[in-house]
Amino acid sequence: MEGSNNNNNNKNKNNESGILIVVEGIDGSGKSTQIHLVDRWLRSKGYDVFFTEWNSSETVREITSKGKKKARLTPMTFSLLHSTDFADRYEKNIYPLLRAGYIVLADRYIYTALARDTVRGCDQSWVRNMYSYARKPDLVFYFRIPVEIAVTRIISGRPKLKHYEAGMDLGLSKDEYESYKIFQGRIVDEYESMVSDENFIVIDGTLDIEKQQNTVRRNVLRTLKLKNQIRGNIARVSQLETNTDE
């Protein structure tokens, strides 16, 4: 694949074309709510937008779901299946659409794998290497939230936590809820360790939806402006600028 050459070649790729915007955070942090609002906003302004989410490849879904249901996955096979899912979406959608100038919105990106797989005991450099072909995003929003609040939101939406999301494969606790808190707490620590090096924009996930969305849009606007300045397409952005609160 053209997009999967070495790291050095990838370093400059985020200036090439398209815009890649990513949301990260633990489940219940509110990231999907925010990226959907951005999606609607940008589409309503006529931008070409593509939305992609973690673990959603048609090709890989069946086997991942089978392995998860039967609790048969080891940390390594869990990691490999998710990276296959990502590679499939990257080759088929993310990379070609960025090349075509789209704004690609990703609900979770490589940082999810880096955080989760590391907590599961995979070597972080091994994981990082698996995803080394992936373009660096133009923007990464990290939704920071205490685990307690996130879990309360999840439980109010559905009655039961899932085996792997609760980290039950790690034997942290026999109690699902306890295990979830320990596991997700460790994932938060991994995310926090990436904030500075990966230039995460930290969003306070405890704020109300509108407040968060305003901050998110301001940052999206700034990025669009920067990219469009490079491309000499200022008029396009000023149309958005007057309407960030819509």
For ligand ADP, the closer CB: 109 or 133: 109
3-state secondary structure of 103: strand
Q: How far is the CB of 161 from ligand ADP (least distance, A)?
A: 12
Q: How far is the CB of 66 from ligand ADP (least distance, A)?
A: 23
For ligand ADP, the closer CB: 144 or 225: 144
How far is 230 from 228, CA to CA, in rounded Å? 5
For ligand ADP, the closer CB: 69 or 211: 211
3-state secondary structure of 150: helix
Whether 78 and 120 have beta carbons less than 8 Å apart is answered as yes
Whether 24 and 141 have beta carbons less than 8 Å apart is answered as yes
Lookup: tokens for 33 = 């709510």
Whether 205 and 145 have beta carbons less than 8 Å apart is answered as yes
Q: How far is the CB of 5 from ligand ADP (least distance, A)?
A: 32
Positions in the binding site for ligand ADP (CB under 6 A): 25, 27-33, 153, 157, 208-209, 212
Q: How far is the CB of 21 from ligand ADP (least distance, A)?
A: 15
Q: How far is the CB of 52 from ligand ADP (least distance, A)?
A: 14
For ligand ADP, the closer CB: 30 or 137: 30
Lookup: tokens for 206 = 């405890």
Residues in CB range of 195: below 8 A, 6 or more apart: 142, 202
For ligand ADP, the closer CB: 62 or 210: 210
3-state secondary structure of 49: strand
Whether 86 and 123 have beta carbons less than 8 Å apart is answered as no
